[in-house]
């Protein structure tokens, strides 16, 4: 099928009542034995978030915003892909496909879409396409294996073709970085270049022997991730079905699983709310809760976790390096694989969720980067 279908969210009130009931009946564990987040999401923090979720959070506001932006679905390779599509009023706008990661969603881009699509100062404008990854949000859930990042990248190319875009650019971080990298590696027809906010590079033996300051920072971050922050990815890449049972059944468990990353992966002063608003965090969690994607989203790790590896790209590549990125890559490591690195932006603030945390800086970076590719 080549049809692109409008998609309107109208979550039944019964689903929201069920959520509130489950939150009210949560069986809580005892509190952690430390005074910080080092054992995971603190009990008091999670209880406060869940109480707000149950009593005061308004899903309908998020639902209305998504519907107002413009939501669609398209069947590609037998799977329904959900996506936001905002056409710019500017005739010379550049088509752009942006890809989120885990534990994110299209909610990450809510604060940048309007600025990208409709600048008022004559800056570069974009037709914005933001798909939900297979098994995430309101996209379909693959019923078989094979939906790894290479296939997803090709699906995005097909989607851009169906929308009538013959020349376009791509952007991503986290899994979005892996998919966008796959688009670049495959040199999909129509793609003029890519932008990454989590490029993947690895050190050579000589880098380890005498690391620069930026390399030492990257090596320290990599060791911390491997030792203390990779338990979630090990579970999701080896036993996504097992972890999915709890994430699909318990909203408190799902919130704890995701909320911890809002703390660990953002540029904050101790609280996730330093970087992201409480409602925005819950909007994002709802895109996992409502469609019950705890297992299906985790399954992407089973499919493609090994794809987070350096790969040669000959297309134009731009990078924005944020200081609190969980796996920073020094420019020297990136240049070994990006044969046509046209822009490298060293950002002053921001973490893993670039567009979400630093929307104005993110928009400036995309305009600067993609202006060099048109």
- Determine contact, residues 259/346, Cβ cutoff 8 Å: no
Which residue in this structure is represented by tokens 């990125």? 325
Catalytic residue among 165, 232, 301, 322: 301
CA distances from 307 to 198, 221, 371 (A): 13, 19, 29
Out of 174, 207, 267, 283, the active site residue is 174
Q: Is position 352 annotated as part of the catalytic site?
A: yes
Q: Is 85 a catalytic residue?
A: no
Cβ neighbours of residue 91 closer than 8 Å, sequence gap 6 or more: none
Q: Check if the beta carbon of residue 290 is closer than 8 Å to that of residue 66.
A: no
Q: What are the CA-CA distances from residue 361 to residues 103, 265, 301, 348 (Å)?
A: 22, 18, 29, 9
**Cα separations in angstroms, 74 against 22, 84, 132, 180:** 33, 11, 11, 19
Tell me the C-alpha distance between 277 and 275, whole Å.
7
Active-site hit among 82, 85, 195, 352:
352
Our answer to whether residue 56 is catalytic in this structure is: no
List residues with catalytic annotation: 174, 301, 352
């Amino acid at each position: 099928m080549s049809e692109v279908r409008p998609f309107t969210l109208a979550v039944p009130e019964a689903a929201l009542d069920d959520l509130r009931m489950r939150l009210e009946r949560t069986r809580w564990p005892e509190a952690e034995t430390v005074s910080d987040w080092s054992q995971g999401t603190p009990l008091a923090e999670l209880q406060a978030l869940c109480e707000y979720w149950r009593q005061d959070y308004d899903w309908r506001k998020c639902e209305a915003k998504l519907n107002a932006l413009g939501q669609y679905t398209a069947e590609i390779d037998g799977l329904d892909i959900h996506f936001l599509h905002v056409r710019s009023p500017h005739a010379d706008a550049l088509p752009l496909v942006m890809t989120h990661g885990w534990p994110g969603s299209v909610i990450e881009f809510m604060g940048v879409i309007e600025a990208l699509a409709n600048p008022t100062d004559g800056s570069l404008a974009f037709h914005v396409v933001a798909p939900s990854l297979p098994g995430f949000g309101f996209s379909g859930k693959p019923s078989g294996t094979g939906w790894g990042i290479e296939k997803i990248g090709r699906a995005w190319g097909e989607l851009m073709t169906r929308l009538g875009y013959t020349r376009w650019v791509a952007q991503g971080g986290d899994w979005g970085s892996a998919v966008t990298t796959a688009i670049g590696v495959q040199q999909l027809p129509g793609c003029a270049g890519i932008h990454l906010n989590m490029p993947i590079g690895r050190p050579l033996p000589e880098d380890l022997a005498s690391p620069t300051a930026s390399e030492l920072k990257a090596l320290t971050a990599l060791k911390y991730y491997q030792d203390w922050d990779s338990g979630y990815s090990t579970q999701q890449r080896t036993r996504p079905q097992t972890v999915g049972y709890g994430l699909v059944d318990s909203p408190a468990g799902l919130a704890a699983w995701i909320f911890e990353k809002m703390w660990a992966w953002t540029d904050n002063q101790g609280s996730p709310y330093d970087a992201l608003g409480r409602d925005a965090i819950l909007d994002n969690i709802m895109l996992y809760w409502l469609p019950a994607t705890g297992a299906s989203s985790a399954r992407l790790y089973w499919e493609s976790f090994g794809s987070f590896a350096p790969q040669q790209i000959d297309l134009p590549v731009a990078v924005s390096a944020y200081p609190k990125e969980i796996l920073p890559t020094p420019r020297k490591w990136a240049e070994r694989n990006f044969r046509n690195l046209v822009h490298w932006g060293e950002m002053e603030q921001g973490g893993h969720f670039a567009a979400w945390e630093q929307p104005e800086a993110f928009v400036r970076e995309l305009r600067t980067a993609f202006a060099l590719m048109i």
